[in-house]
Amino acid sequence: MQIYTNEDVRPGAIAGQRIAIIGYGSQGRAHAQNLKESGFDVIAGVREGGKGWRHAQADGIATAEPAQAVKGADIIAILTPDMAQADIYRETIEPNARKGAAILFAHGFSIHYGRIAPRKDLDVILVAPKGPGDLVRREYARGRGVPALFAVHTDATGKARDRAMGYAKGIGGATGGLIETSFKEETETDLFGEQAVLCGGAKELVMQGFSTLVEAGYQPEVAYFECLHELKLIVDLFYEGGVSKMHEFISETAKYGAVVSGPRVVNGETRARMREVLTDIQSGAFARDWIAENEAGKGAYEALLKADHDHPIEAIGAGLRERMAWLQPASQGASRPAAA
């Protein structure tokens, strides 16, 4: 596997090309600011008077209604939520994009699962920073960059790969390092990571651990610290130096418990459930279910979210975090006790 850097991007890859950012949320805002500061002609396609319009103007980014922004663009970055993209493409992009323009995604869901069938004359590319928008912006401002994936789905002009790499460089991704992938690989691995490990698996592990301790008669506040609060300390070690760094910085007792008891909790049965999750993603079953849930008004989804928010760990955690001054804005930090 090759990791591409700034030196691997063809000089002038997207020089002189106007870039329209459609969707001015976390990623859109970071991309627009970074691209502008990299010297590119950037315009935000946002509704006049809306929050995105106000933010873009405050950031010094040129603004226009989405259709107008698309008409004059060479690269159209679609950075809206997945479920909104099909309508945006059909109503705003397809009738207005110039021949030979590129449409760019930060996640491959809409293309991989056939939600969007782009015009044959358009380049279809992907640039997916491996971090949230605020980190993409913050690291660029520091002269660094967040690593990114890039891919080409359709090369209508013969310049699609250069466009993807040039855009990635413009947001700082080539400084962090670029890995070439496919829409299929990016989409399926991203969904799997979210569901089985990061947002789904970790959440359930925390909640089930908390409930196990509380049901056994332990104080919920103590259970919160052991099952949720201290998780950040371990994740930080993973993030900084992998499993080896975690082992380096925890006690011998913790290490022994980790290697003998971890596989009792996450084991072959867990792997089998993970494979089921991956199969649903690969077959399109998850995408079909999520699309159908949106079309039905998201009632089941909202009920499941409410169950998470109503879990006892949330009330316990909220009370404990009020006493953690380092989590509060500076102006709300605990005042010093009066001198005796």
Known binding residues are: 24-27, 47, 133, 190, 194, 226, 230, 251
Please pick, among 107, 229, 247, 309, the residue that the annotation labels catalytic.
107
Residue 248 to residue 230: CA distance in whole angstroms: 16
Check if the beta carbon of residue 294 is closer than 8 Å to that of residue 300.
no
Q: Tell me how far CA of residue 130 lies from CA of 8, 144, 158, 186, in angstroms.
A: 19, 14, 26, 11
Ordered strands of the 102-105 beta sheet = 3-4, 178-180, 148-154, 123-129, 102-105, 75-78, 18-22, 41-45, 62-64
CA distance 288 to 86: 14
Where b means 16+ CB within 10 Å and e means fewer, 158-192 reads: ebbbbbbbbbbbbbbbbbbbbbbbebeebbbebbb
Cβ contact 70:97 at 8 Å:
yes
Q: Output the known binding site for NADP(+).
A: 24-27, 47, 133
Picking from 205, 246, 251, 220, the residue whose alpha carbon sits closest to that of residue 317 is: 220
Cα separation, 312 vs 155, whole angstroms: 51
CA distances from 12 to 53, 162, 181 (A): 29, 9, 23
Spatial separation of the C-alpha atoms in residues 13 and 325, rounded to whole Å? 48
Annotated binding-site residues for substrate read 251
Is 107 among the catalytic positions?
Answer: yes
Catalytic positions are 107
